[in-house]
Structure 1
Amino acid sequence: MGDDPTRTDVWTLPNLLSGLRLAGVPLFLWLVLGPEADIWALAVLVVSGITDYLDGWLARRWDQVSVLGQILDPVADRLYILAVVIGLALRDVIPWWVAILLPLRDLLMWGLVPLLRTRGYSALPVHFLGKAATFNLLYAFPLLLLGDGDGVVATLASVFGWAFAGWGIGLYWWAGLLYAWQVRRLLATTEPRRRQVADG
């Protein structure tokens, strides 16, 4: 049967959950920017957070870790962060510098991919800091949306939301700079792929 029989599977429950998360991205934007149905938008974010945990847990629990799942999960995380910051910035819930700072870090990461490919890599392992940053950001944005109102609950949500956002943004960039340093070391210590092929 091989060491990893499910690695190329597509129709697994974890992958379906990741697909459900992706489908929620345009739904969230419509709810926030169209009818401004913030409660329903919050519900979409909560479901996204639950499925984000479940797809990884189920993939490991049921031995259904797949190539597709390893792509879908981080893509869904990035798209949610992008959609949320754009939506909240357009609603004036967060300042535009926050909405620009987070995608700017992702642009840095994408810019490193061609360099990695010269050494035969498409990506490096996800660092714990990156996971911690995503965790903080995915908690921050629902709280900031909930904090866009009046009353004690809104005030508390805003305070805690900005606390999570501060840590999340800091860790997000820290993880990105660490990733860039790892790429730099890889470039310095590994021969280019074409030279390796020629030598072989």
Structure 2
Amino acid sequence: MTDLGRAPAGRRWPGSGRHGVVTLPNVISGARLLLVPVFAVLLAQGHDGWALVVLAVAGASDWLDGVLARALDQYSRLGELLDPAADRLFILVTLVALAARDVVPGWLVAAVIGRDVLLAVVLLVLVVRGIGPLPVHFVGKAGTFALLYAFPLLLLAQTHGAVGVVAGVAGWAFAWWGMGLYWLAAGVYLRQAWQELRRDRGVVTP
């Protein structure tokens, strides 16, 4: 799930947006967020097939709300927050479910959660200083995209036969690339945050 159609890089919203909070893209993003607990329950009950269907619907809605945001010029701060929130929750729920089945190691769960906790703390510092949220970097989008493909593939890899084998290989390939890009994006975000904080103090950063 990418952030296509969201606010252009560097654009800051003074309020809830030009078109208010209740826009069609935001409604779609909110509905996708509500699909997260549905997805979690399906995974917990072992209905992997239906869980993958929900994930596919969520992915399609992510593409749709981005297209509509651009077509209708309906950008908002709320939209900037809802979209990545849904992506990260889907990643977290899938990771926890796979770890509970011993499909992925615990360190992978810790690496993903630790990265998001770190950036959440940095974001809190920026908000307290009246800065942000910072624009989403394309590396972070690529990492999120890779992880959102990796974990469903690893889930599919639990099936027997050639499909499971191919899904497992592809899933781990996406997982390794996704983790690398995920943490690279964290480094980029930390550097941007440090520059903004120095600028806020009146220090010019080269």
1:32 Cα deviation after fit: 0.9
Percent identity reads 51
Count of residue correspondences? 188
Q: Quick check: which has more Rg, 1 or 2? A: 1
Question: Who is 1:9 aligned against?
Answer: 20
Structure-2 separation of matches of 1:99 and 1:155: 22
Asked whether 1:60 is paired with 2:107, we answer: no
The match for 2:40 is 29
Q: RMSD of aligned C-alpha atoms?
A: 1.9
Say whether the 8 Å CA contact 2:19–2:74 is kept in structure 1.
no
Structure 1 stretches lacking a partner, 5+ long: 193-200
> TM-score under structure 1 normalisation?
0.87
TM-score, structure 2 as length reference: 0.85
Corresponding residue number in structure 2 for 1:102: 112
Cα deviation, 1:83-131, whole Å, max 9, x if unaligned, reads 1111111122211111111011001101112332354203211101011
The separation in 1 between residues aligned to 2:44 and 2:129, in whole angstroms, is: 43
CA distance in 1, matches of 2:70, 2:16: 13
Is 1:148 aligned with 2:121? Answer: no
TM superposition shift of 1:6: 6.0
**Partner residue in 1 for 2:199:** 189
Q: Which has the higher contact order (CA 8 A, sep 6+)?
A: 2
Q: Distance in 1 between matches of 2:173 and 2:18?
A: 38
**Quick check: which one's helix share is greater?**
1
Aligned to 2:5: none
* Deviation at residue 8 of structure 1 after TM alignment: 4.5
Deviations 1:14-52 (A, max 9, x none): 112111211111111111112x01100110111111111
